[in-house]
Structure 1
Amino acid sequence: MAEEGRDVVVELGFIQNTPAWKLRSKFFPSKVGGYPAWLALKNLPTNEELSCHICSKPLVFLCQIYAPFHDRDYCFHRMVFVFVCRDPDCYRENDASNIRVFRCQLARENEFYPNEPAKDTDLGSESPGAGDFNNLCRICGALGPKTCGGCKVARYCSKDHQALDWKSGHKAECKNPENISKVSCSGHAKFLFPEFEIELEPEELEAAKEKSEEEVMKDYEELLRSGQVTHQNDEDSDTENDLINMATQETDKQFQKFRMRIKDYPDQIVRYDRGHEPLWVSSSNKPADIPPCPSCGQPRQFEFQVMPQLLVHLKVDNPGKSIDWGTVLVYSCKESCQQDRNYIEELAYKQDYSPISQVMKNHPCAAAS
């Protein structure tokens, strides 16, 4: 649990519109959507690793956070990637089987990048990039071992993405292989999420604004008595009401604490708070036990969480029937251990909102009656 008055503050991530060239690998971006800006440019995750545990379809890149460990030379560059499934049938309550997380890290002296980072005014080329060392899928930017039988140029990670590309225009361009791009196509826009930079800023809290446990409970009980926890105002589109609606008009005491904590920064889409406790969206369904790192045996620790506000930016038409979460928590090896692979799978945990029926059942007033 986070300590009172600790020196380390939570870093909040916000959506930032940024030119695409600034989100390439050589700038080490934290970003949402588009192709992943791979850190190590060789030995990328396999297509099997980037598939959904439920439906086995290819996952779509959700976001990445640049998070070096400054006290470890081998983590001079460090990136954590999150991938999710786009199939709505794979979204199950409090189940992260359709979400996968990978950690990658490099020393300052490495085979891909110079010691000094590229200048952010350098438009330059996309190099160095993963496309310099690998054949990449035109749809998702993952490894593309499959080749179009017609043009022999277009590459894909799977038959699913080959079919999507064919329907999206490759059927026509296939006749002119000399004009075919290896890493982009019109079909990728139907699969990838919109691309944004994530700008990280420290969370600034005023002690005077923070409510005590008793005050939170009092507010919570007032909401239950008034029925406001199930109230939906369709004409009010501000972020806080969007949050309530995404919670399917359901809440509990912890959700009230969640709302009050984010009130001053309602647009945050990521909270980075390595080694401390997440901001839970529910009192229920907290992980009882996080398994240790399977490679070194050290504990995994909470690193960051993806907030529900990100759903607003993903162009998901029907939250609750498609991609949906209360919050996605990322746990990684406490030591960020070195391995013989460039991309190491870590752990995702999905926490959803508590159903109002469960909240009322557990509420003291309901139990007394």
Structure 2
Amino acid sequence: MAPPRDDDWSDSDDEVLSEVDTSVLLGVPDGVVQSITDITDAAVSRIGGHPAFLPSHEPSLSSSQCKICSNPSELLVQMWCPFEDSPMDRALYIWGCARPSCQGKEGSVRAWRGLRRNDKYAAKLEKRLAKKRVVEEAKAQSLAQSEQKKNAPKINPFSPNPSVPNMFGIGAQIFGDTPPPTISDEPQAAKEEQGGNKESSPYDDGDDASSSEDELLTAMASVTVEESPWKAAPFYPPIYLSTVSEYLPPNSKPKSSPGTQVTDSLGDDDKGGKDTFWATEAYEDSLEVDQVFERFTKRVGYEGEQCVRYELNGTPLPFSSDKIFTSLFPSPPMPTLPVTKAAFTVVRIPKRTYFPTGIPPCPSCRGKRVFECQLMPNLINVLRRPEGAKPMSEEERRKAVDQALKGVGAVDEGRMEWGTCMVFSCEKDCCTDANGKPAREAWREEVVLVQAAI
């Protein structure tokens, strides 16, 4: 969550502030995969290697073919990423072609999502959602009852209506009047729900969570690549892909005299929020630099080891101000200048905002596609690192990342060159057959936008 904006500038240069935890998850390399069990487990995210498929029917090898040269591509990343409150196991597979003639072109990087229904988790999820509905209905009923009491007509205590209970309690008891009925503040269902163990959550199943976690989260691949065309497909050495949260250091507060206006054109996106603002084209052209690339390098520089950025239904981090950037962050209409006294009028130039209208909908359900993740330049260095090589020093790592960002280095066969690859997936995560009916498993291709290296 983005921190609140603080417009008060400190006079101290040594002020230490806490880091900012954003909503972005970063995928970083975490050692070579050597376990056969992990290699065949679709729930183990990895860089390179052979794919571990979720669907029971092995997809065709054509899923990995480059749309430019029609040759099989190497698996770049496989991620275990099921949707919240979904009964489907889910994995994302991304292939990329390394041939120089295909770099930066549409179709050179392809992404697929594999789905498979998890019956055990579906049963537990249904019980959890049923309890959640009971609690929500009880709260709604209690709220409606409170509103009804609030809006009820006022009773005149001096009215001769015999149906009105005696307002004087002591007299009522003496003369045997019926005491007024009591109205419960909460429905009985809510009381029963809250009458149990106070420490237990209303979403708990009552089952042993520790014993069932392995059953729910482990999705051993039902299809291996031992006797299939995938065994002969090209591949990189498999590397574990671990997930960490993105942390950004707070912006320093420089000294400034009272009344001085301070502008940081590169700091708007470091707030960690989802609504990222970008400078206008006119401002970028006036400085003769690519403001988008400057922001990209600044943001990535906080964690140079990142190979993947994941933020479902979030905002991508564009690499440069190319056509893809323009389509995702369209230029807003310019404000109309007044006819008179224009020289004395201050007009604020509107900023670009994320508005991806050009992403095609899902062909299966016609639902909207949303941003899910993007591949980062350091992934190219990790995939090309020789097996058994020593870990790079901090200086070597920064130099390698800088070269990958700028596309500097020898260009040979098998060298990938792109700035970033953005993946947009079906928002509904639909799982249907050819007739549009619900299915137990699916294999669907998603949209990938490739921004070429500078």
Using CA pairs below 8 Å that are at least 6 residues apart, which structure has the higher relative contact order?
A: 2
1:303 to 372, 375, 379: 372
Q: Distance in 2 between matches of 1:353 and 1:209?
A: 31
Matches within 5 A, 1:222-301: 252-286=290-324, 288=327, 289-301=358-370
1:48-87 per-position Cα deviation (integer Å, ceiling 9, x unaligned): 33312111111221111111112222x3x21110011232
The one-character-per-residue Cα deviations of 1:224-262 (angstroms, maximum 9, x if unpaired) are: 78xxxxxxxxxxxxxxxxxxxxxxxxx611111111112
Query: Which residues in structure 2 correspond to 1:1-369 (within 5 Å)?
Result: 9-21=23-35, 23-26=38-41, 28-40=43-55, 42-73=56-87, 75=88, 77-91=89-103, 93=104, 95-109=105-119, 117=214, 129-131=222-224, 135-140=228-233, 191-208=234-251, 213-214=264-265, 252-286=290-324, 288=327, 289-315=358-384, 318-319=410-411, 322-340=415-433, 342-354=442-454
When residues 338 and 325 of structure 1 are mapped into structure 2, their CA distance, relative to the original with a 3 A threshold, is: same
* Contact persistence 1:27–1:118 (CA under 8 A): no
d(CA) in 2 for partners of 1:97, 1:81: 14
Change (3 A) 1:215 1:139: closer
Q: Do the aligned residues in 1 keep the contact of 2:42 with 2:54 (CA within 8 Å)?
A: no
- Output the TM-score relative to the length of structure 2: 0.51
Go from structure 1 to structure 2 and tell me whether the alpha carbon gap of 1:19 and 1:46 turns closer, same or farther (over 3 Å shift).
closer
Q: What is the CA-CA distance between 1:297 and the residue it aligns to?
A: 0.7
**8 Å CA contact retained: 2:296, 2:319:** yes
Residue identity in the other structure for 2:214: P
Change (3 A) 1:309 1:280: same
How well do the aligned residues superpose, as a CA RMSD in angstroms?
A: 3.7
Instruction: State the Cα distance separating 1:11 from its structure 2 match.
Output: 0.1
Number of residue pairs the alignment of both structures matches: 263
1:278 and 1:135, CA in 2 relative to 1: closer, same or farther beyond 3 A? same
Would you say the 8 A contact 1:26–1:117 is kept in 2? Answer: no
The Cα of 1:7 is off from its aligned counterpart by 8.8
Distance 1:278 1:119, change over 3 A: closer
- The percent identity for this pair of structures is 27
The one-character-per-residue Cα deviations of 1:174-213 (angstroms, maximum 9, x if unpaired) are xxxxxxxxxxxxxxxxx31121111111111233359964
SS state at 1:78 partner: strand
Deviation at 1:3, TM superposition (A): 7.6
In structure 1, the residue corresponding to 2:447 is in which secondary structure?
Answer: strand
Q: 1:12–1:269: 8 Å Cα contact kept in structure 2?
A: yes
Deviation at 1:36, TM superposition (A): 1.0
| Unaligned stretches of 5+ residues in structure 2 | 5-19, 121-210, 254-261, 268-278, 328-357, 386-408, 434-440
Deviation at 1:27, TM superposition (A): 5.9
Quote how far apart the aligned CAs of 1:215 are: 5.2
Q: Retained in 2: the 8 A contact 1:28–1:39?
A: no
SS in 1 for 2:241: strand
Q: CA deviation at 1:279?
A: 0.8
| Residues 300 and 89 (structure 1), Cα distance of their counterparts in 2 relative to 1, 3 Å cut | same
- Unpaired runs of 5+ in structure 1? 141-190, 226-250, 355-369
Residue 95 of structure 2 aligns to a residue in which SS?
strand
TM-score (norm 1): 0.62
Q: CA deviation at 1:337?
A: 0.7
Aligned partner of 1:83: which letter?
Answer: W
Structure 1 residues 320 and 4: alpha-carbon distance in aligned structure 2, compared to 1, 3 A threshold: farther
Amino acid at match of 2:316: P
